[in-house]
Amino acid sequence: MKLLIIGDSHGNIANLKHVMEFAKGIKVKAVIHTGDWNNLKSVETVLEYKLPLYSCLGNADIDPEFNFPEFVKVELDEVKIGLIHNIIKLKENKEKFDIIFCGHRHRQLRENNIVNPGALENGINFAIFDTKTKMVEFINE
């Protein structure tokens, strides 16, 4: 199963739409957002694509209507996934997860089982994760 991994969109609707169209073209099955949406219109933009959405709360998500938790645990295709905006705040044991997606630093990174997809705020930086192969593909446009 292919997953779209995005984060730090900071209200950039144009970049969200661009990436969502890309995801639609490659038939991703779910979207993971690592926080810092900045506004509810951004969330609505992603939800318009009718894909399951998993997201955590970012430090810029200050609107009280954001209902995302600070940390998310989900299992997809028998892959244990953790999701947190700022990896420094992780209280769980990293080894309990096959992969942990985080944001906050606005740069793409893979270090062991921790992946930061980069930021959509001022560029097209994201990742595709394949649950079958556990491969991460970073994309920059």
pLDDT (tens digit, 9 = 90+) per residue, 114-132?
999 999 998 999 999 999 9
Give dist(CA 45, CA 50) in Å, integer: 10
DSSP secondary structure code for residue 107 in this structure: S
- Give tens-digit pLDDT for 18-40: 999 999 999 999 999 999 999 99
Domain spans, the chain: 2-133
**In the CATH scheme, what is the homologous superfamily, with its name and number, of domain 2-133?**
Metallo-dependent phosphatases (3.60.21.10)
Please tell me whether residue 6 adopts helix, strand or coil conformation.
Answer: strand
- CB contact set of 2 (below 8 Å; sequence gap of 6+): 26, 27, 28, 29, 128, 129, 130, 131
| Predicted model pTM | 0.97
Task: Name which of 60, 101, 67 is nearest 84 in CA terms.
Answer: 101
